[in-house]
């Protein structure tokens, strides 16, 4: 049962399906072959996204099983919590290059393990808190062990939310104060407050309320460029990032807020290619992610844009975006991690849970059944 929540990804870039023209460029040149990572693990962030979609669909047994797996896998202090684990909770995941393997279409280097296991990704703590909060909302009883774990997570967040991190995209460059990471720290605190207010669990709620206000004020001041009317990738940066589209989906601000309208317009203008959304401008972000330029459009981000449009009431645009994404599926209805509009092919890990979970959530937003953006404030 728990395997339905384990996120298995590909060893190397493996484009598939949707080829509308013969490639004129080799795969390594097209997407930067160095961006090959071993993703055959359970990533807490991806698992929480999957869990959210399952819970919204009423799959409670899977949620219970994942919560038990999480508590067993972490089994220690939050400062020791990793962002990924092996299928049986393994913690030793050293990254190595395998130079004797050419990789798919010579997209080398081929790697095993993933050095991201040693990264600090602040957003994961908020995502775990949010997933456990949603489980509680859907009727899964909170046992003492689970709430003790959340209290320990809150102790860690209170002490570490001001630290820079590697963020959602697991950058290989210097740590930064990523706006999305700070928003997810706010989410963690917000869900802790709701646990006390709504479910009558015990915790220092007044202190948490004060921290929630402090985080919100700081993010809106330091993560927002008032001159351009858009949130930015990190504090003081001029770069955009598609992770900013998550802001309404987690309840930080409504999609109709003028600051979010400005952010969506900026992303549509600067990060969209042929209707699809880049994570960020990789050609301008070498100093941020520490990698060569070049990658495809990120499909989950493209669904997040549709979510925002739907939540703004721009339903025709949202549906058009959604149908554009559906047209990229292969003959089995599956999606990869990325898509290259120029080559007309799917790229990256295949199939990718992140993309399919985003598809499910957008379908719920468009059908009126309520996706993450309509339940995050509850």
pLDDT(315) > 70: yes
First to last CA, the chain: 28
pLDDT(10) > 60: no
Higher pLDDT, 183 or 361: 183
pLDDT of residue 334: 92
- Classified as helix, coil or strand, 177 is coil
pLDDT of residue 209: 97
> Rounded to an integer, what distance in angstroms lies between the CA atom of residue 347 and that of residue 369?
31
pLDDT(371) > 80: no
User: Looking at residues 221-230, what average pLDDT do you find?
Assistant: 95
To the nearest whole percent, how much of the chain has pLDDT over 90? 39
Q: Find which of 101-110, 176-185, 324-333 is predicted with most confidence, using mean pLDDT.
A: 176-185
What are the φ/ψ torsions at residue 366 (nearest 5 degrees)?
A: -75, -25
Dig out the tokens for 141 from the structure: 């009883």
What does the DSSP assignment read for 284-318? T-HHHH-S-S---EEHHHHHHHHHHHHHTT-HHHH
According to DSSP, the β-strands at 42-43 and 84-85 are: antiparallel
> Rounded to an integer, what distance in angstroms lies between the CA atom of residue 85 and that of residue 361?
25
Among 13-17, 33-37, 217-221, 316-320, which stretch is predicted with the lowest mean pLDDT?
Answer: 13-17
Q: What is the DSSP letter of 278?
A: -
What would the pLDDT profile of 16-39 be if each residue is shown by its tens digit? Answer: 333 222 233 444 443 444 666 777
Query: Looking at 12-60, which runs of residues are DSSP E strands?
Result: 42-43
Q: What is the DSSP letter of 204?
A: -
> Rounded to an integer, what distance in angstroms lies between the CA atom of residue 64 and that of residue 332?
30
CB–CB of 191/129 below 8 Å?
A: yes
pLDDT of residue 7: 40
Under CATH, to which class is 223-378 assigned?
A: mainly alpha
339: enclosing H helix or E strand:
strand 338-340
pLDDT(5) > 50: no
Domain positions in the chain: 223-378
Dig out the tokens for 153 from the structure: 């997570």
pLDDT of residue 372: 62
- Exposure letters 354-368 (e unless 16+ CB within 10 A, then b): bbbbbbbbbebbbee
pLDDT of residue 74: 72
**Average pLDDT along the chain:** 81
- Give the CA distances from residue 4 to residues 58, 290, 323, in Å, rounded to whole numbers and listed in that order: 14, 33, 26
Q: What is the residue whose two structure tokens read 């949202």? A: 318
């Amino acid at each position: 049962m728990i395997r339905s929540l384990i996120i298995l990804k590909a060893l190397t870039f493996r484009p598939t399906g949707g080829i509308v023209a013969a490639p004129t460029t080799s795969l390594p040149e097209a997407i930067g072959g160095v961006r090959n990572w071993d993703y055959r693990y359970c990533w807490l962030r991806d698992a929480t996204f999957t869990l959210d979609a399952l819970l919204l669909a009423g799959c409670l047994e899977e949620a219970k099983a994942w919560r038990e797996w999480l508590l067993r896998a972490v089994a220690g202090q939050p400062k020791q919590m990793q962002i990924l684990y092996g299928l049986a909770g393994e913690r030793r995941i050293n990254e190595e290059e395998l130079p004797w393997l050419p990789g798919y279409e010579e997209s080398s280097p081929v790697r095993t393990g993933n050095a991201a296991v040693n990264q600090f990704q602040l957003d994961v703590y908020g995502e775990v808190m949010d997933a456990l909060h949603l489980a509680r909302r859907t009727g899964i009883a909170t046992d003492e062990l689970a709430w003790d774990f959340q209290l320990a997570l809150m102790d860690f967040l209170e002490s570490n939310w001001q630290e820079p991190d590697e963020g959602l995209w697991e950058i290989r460059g210097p740590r930064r104060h990523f706006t999305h990471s700070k928003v997810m720290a706010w989410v963690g605190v917000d869900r802790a407050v709701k646990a006390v207010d709504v479910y009558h669990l015990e915790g220092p709620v007044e202190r948490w309320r004060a921290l929630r206000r402090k985080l919100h004020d700081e993010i809106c001041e330091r993560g927002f460029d008032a001159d351009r009317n858009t949130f930015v990738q990190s504090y003081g940066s001029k770069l955009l990032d598609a992770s900013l589209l998550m802001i309404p989906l987690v309840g930080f601000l409504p999609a109709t807020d003028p600051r979010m309208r400005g952010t969506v317009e900026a992303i549509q203008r600067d990060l969209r290619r042929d209707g699809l959304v880049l994570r960020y401008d990789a050609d301008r972000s070498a100093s941020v992610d520490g990698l060569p330029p070049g990658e495809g459009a990120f499909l989950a981000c493209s669904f997040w844009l549709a979510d925002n449009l739907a939540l703004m009431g721009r339903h025709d645009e949202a549906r058009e975006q959604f149908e554009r994404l559906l047209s990229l599926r292969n003959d089995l209805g599956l999606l990869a991690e990325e898509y290259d509009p120029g080559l007309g092919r799917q790229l990256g890990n295949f199939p990718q849970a992140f993309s399919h979970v985003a598809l499910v959530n957008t379908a719920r937003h468009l059908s009126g059944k309520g996706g993450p953006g309509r339940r995050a404030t509850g």
